[in-house]
Amino acid sequence: MAEEYVIETRGLTKEYDGTVAVRDLNLRVRKGEVFGVLGPNGSGKTTTILMLLGLTDPTAGEMRVLGFDPMRQPLSVKARVGYLPDQVGFYDELTARENLIYIAKLNGIPRKEAYRRIDEALAQMGLADVADRPVATFSRGMRQRLGLAEILIKRPQLVILDEPTQGLDPQAAREFLDIIRDLRSHGISVLLASHLLYQVQAVCDRVGLFHKGRMVLEGTVQELARQILGGGYRVQVEAEGPREILLQALRKVPDTLSVQPVNGRVYELLAQRDVRPEAAQAVVQAGGKLLSLMLEEPNLEEIYARYFQEVEHESARAAA
Amino acid sequence: MSQHVLRRERAREGSPWTGMWAVVAKEMADNLTSARMHILELLIALTAVGAVYGAIQEIMNTISEDRFLFLKLFTEGRLPMPAFLEFLGFLVPLLAIAMSFDAINGEFNRRTMSRILAQPIYRDALLFGKFLAHLFTLALVLTAIWLLIIGLGIVRLGLPPSGEEMARLLWFLLATIFYGGIWLALAMVLSIEFRQPATAALSAIAVWLFFAVFWKMIANVLAPVISPVRYGFPEEQLRLVQTQLFLWRLSPNTLYGEIAMALLRPEIRVMGFISPVQLSGAILGTPLPLSQSLLLVWPQMTGLVAATILLFALGYVLFQRQEIRA
């Protein structure tokens, strides 16, 4: 298997007594990228993560994580992969530092080195002041950051985050996204499972959409937009002039899929890319007066909603 | 050659004990600092002092000569206070259950399980580490109490224990720790099986009550059903008694009681039914040497250890098969 992938699975399948949690999954995550795993609850995201860590055995299929087989070499995998489970828990009666010392010991990090890394990680996560307070007093955001500090003391090559921003306030969530970007800038690959689409779009290079145990879509947000929305770029043109002529002119703009008059002077173009310059030119050439141009980039939220709409539609049709 | 490669491919990498001592250290620290352990330790220490004080009074009142005064510290009681041995019979299970009933489900409930198992260790290390840590804690507490009693004895009785007495007491301590081991393993199995710590604790206590209070009664009812006495022959009577004994010995409490008796009362030479043949040539009341007493209860000792190992193995299998996601 190629070196450039940190995660590679082939035909990965997991059945829990009769029900299929993950079906025939072919997932590839490149080195250094942030990959977002999307999907509704129960779509197989967490099961996939547990399989990648060797915490549950797949029913069928093959996988490689950082070149190791999680089923046969779980220790090598777990020594190099940092994992932040959803709703991370700590030993409440121990202090933040004590919790990290336990993890460092389990990782077999020599004491001196461990203490150095712990101080460093706590400082990096902004927890240096509360390092010797029991975790029971920590807020959810602080626990989440402590979870990341724990990951950092391992010096991981790959970080797997399961719903890390769930239940965080907007400020904490934004900080968390900054930390993820920071990880990437240090060359650490990230697998981020979430259903908070806006956040996934904000940090992920590529995303995979899970539905009923299958990865049904995969690619960059632009690619998905093209696939599902048939474009995804919406350009709103506000122009004065004879409606029919303007419509006709706008329809001729290259890479434009459709043009809809919205009201009075506003037209909406659905395009495969940012066509603002061409649209402006078209309006002017048709003798119209251009008043404003607005671009809406493809939106993961919309892709997601549209995809599940279609799926429902199809299943309804199949049922009928 | 190819088969060799295949086998190496299939083997799990690394040792199952990686990280076990980290778990042991953490769990022991938890046990020794937790409030519930402090309460139980206090309880045991108080009963120890009370029972032994009563025993010393009793010993001082008897004037007959005895070679094994120190052993009597454990077996003598002064009404209404029972002997410390009887206290141990139910305090040790309580201590063991209190330590282990939330060993595994507690990790799930605190949501620390997936985080811990995502570290480069196997599940084996976690389970075995926890069991060992709890066993060490138990050993530590029991040894401390044991020393306390012997110290009290030296001060109050004014004479040191003999070598033979110390040897017997050491074996007794060891047996007590293994008796605790059974209940540790049982509580651990229940903590794996039940997600609610309260359920695990209650069912462990139910099992303990069952064996401590009800099992002898049930055995006495069951025995005549299994080996009925139809015509009143001596063979039938004998079989009935033997069945009864066998049933009793299914309970760890009986096993422990017999071991303690044989070790602490050197004059005991037979466990259970005594036939006249066994007594021929014996001088009643003369003590057995330690090696003979040990021989007498060796099966019981083996039984205790075997039960512990079986229960632990059951827990191990259950835990390995458990899905990590709740």
SS3 of A46-74: HHHHHHHCCCCCCCEEEEEECCECCCCCH
The per-residue pLDDT for A230 is 74
Any domain includes B55: yes
Q: Please indicate, yes or no, if residue B35 is contained in any of the structural domains.
A: yes
Q: B235 pLDDT exceeds 90?
A: no
Least confident of A9-13, A151-155, A158-162, B277-281: B277-281
Please tell me the distance from the alpha carbon of residue A36 to that of residue A44, in angstroms, as a whole number: 14
Q: Tens of pLDDT along B7-53?
A: 445 567 888 888 999 999 999 999 999 998 899 889 988 988 888 88
> Per the domain annotation, does B326 fall within a domain?
no
Decide if B8 is inside a domain: no
What's the pLDDT score for residue A3? 56
B1 in a structural domain? no
Tens of pLDDT, residue by residue over A103-133, are 999 999 999 999 999 999 999 999 999 999 9
> Which residue numbers of A have CB closer than 8 Å to B's CBs?
16, 46-47, 50, 53, 55-56, 72-76, 78-79, 81, 83, 85, 87-93, 102-103, 105-108, 147, 150
Query: Which residue in B52, B46, B104 sits closest to B83, CA to CA?
Result: B52
Nearest to B304 by CA among B261, B268, B253: B253
Q: Find the range with the poorest average confidence among A113-127, B57-71, B167-181, B221-235.
A: B57-71
Residue range B202-218: mean pLDDT, rounded: 93
- In this model, does residue B77 exceed pLDDT 80? no
- The Cα of B325 is separated from the nearest Cα of chain A by a number of Å equal to 8
User: Maximum CA pair distance of chain A?
Assistant: 78
Confidence (pLDDT) at A255? 85
pLDDT-derived band at B279, boundaries 50, 70, 90: low
What contacts B325, CB < 8 A, 6 or more positions away? A46, A47, A50, A56, B114
Read off the pLDDT of each residue in A165-191 and give the average, rounded to a whole number: 89
Range of the domain at B301: 17-321
Whether residue A169 is predicted with pLDDT greater than 90 in this model: the reply is no
Half-sphere exposure of B265 (CA within 13 A, CB side): 16
**Residue B286 DSSP one-character state:** P
Domain count, chain B: 1
H helix or E strand, kind and range, residue A256:
strand A256-263
Residue A87 CB neighbours (<10 A): 14
Residues of B in contact with A89 (CB under 8 A): 110-112, 115
* Segment B241-261 mean pLDDT: 91
pLDDT digits (tens, 9 = 90+) for A45-67: 999 999 999 999 999 999 999 99
A131 in helix, strand or coil? coil
pLDDT in tens, A69-108: 999 999 999 999 999 998 889 999 999 999 999 999 999 9
Contact A56, A50 (CB under 8 A): yes
Pairing state of beta strands A34-38 and A256-263?
Answer: unpaired
Identify the band that residue B123 occupies on the pLDDT scale cut at 50, 70 and 90: very high
Q: d(Cα A291, Cα A237) in Å, to the nearest integer?
A: 8
Domains of chain A by start residue, with CATH: 5-219 (3.40.50.300), 233-296 (3.30.70.100)
CA distance B112 to A229: 41
Instruction: State the Cα angle at A195 between A78 and A50, rounded to 5°.
Output: 25
Element (H or E) spanning B216, and its range?
A: helix B215-226
Q: What percent of chain A has pLDDT over 70?
A: 99
At B104, is the secondary structure helix, strand, or coil? Answer: coil
Distance separating the N- and C-terminal Cα atoms of chain A = 45
Quote the pLDDT of residue B8: 47
- Look at residue B279 and tell me if it is in a domain: yes
CA B157 – CA B168 distance, rounded (Å): 19
pLDDT at A190 over 70: yes
Determine which helix (DSSP H) or strand (DSSP E) holds A211, and give its type and residue range: strand A206-211
Distance CA B139, CA B130 (A): 14
Proportion of chain B above pLDDT 70, given as a percent = 91
Say how far apart CA B116 and CA A106 lie, in whole Å.
8
pLDDT, residue B205, reads 94
- Asked whether the predicted pLDDT for residue A39 surpasses 80, the reply is yes
For chain B, the C-alpha Rg in angstroms (whole number) is: 23
**Average pLDDT rounded to a whole number, residues B133-153:** 92
CA distance A72 to chain B (A): 5
Average confidence (pLDDT) over B202-230: 91
Closest residue by Cα to residue B75 from B216, B263, B245, B212: B263
pLDDT in tens, A5-31: 999 999 999 998 888 999 999 999 999
Question: What integer pLDDT is reported at residue A25 of this predicted model?
Answer: 93
Collapsing DSSP states into helix, strand and coil, what is residue B199? Answer: helix
Sheet holding A256-263, edge to edge: A256-263, A266-271, A233-240, A289-296
Task: Classify residue B186: in a domain, yes or no.
Answer: yes
For position B60, what pLDDT does the model report?
80
Q: Which helix (H) or strand (E) holds A237?
A: strand A233-240
Q: How confident is the model at residue B206 (pLDDT cuts 50, 70, 90)?
A: very high
Which residue out of A80, A87, A94, A102 would a mutagenesis test of the B interface target, given it has the greatest number of B Cβ atoms within 10 Å?
Answer: A102
Across chain B, mean pLDDT equals 87
Whether B304 is covered by a domain: the verdict is yes
Residue B272 Rama label (left phi>0; alpha psi -120 to 50; beta): left
Three-state SS at A134 = strand
pLDDT the model gives residue B10: 57
Mean pLDDT of chain A: 90
Give the mutation candidate from A59, A90, A93, A106 for the B interface (greatest B CB count, under 10 A): A106
Q: Return the residue matching tokens 């900054």.
A: A178
pLDDT at B80 over 80: no
Nearest by Cα to A206 from A31, A34, A5: A34
Rounded CA-CA distance B150/B173 in Å is 12
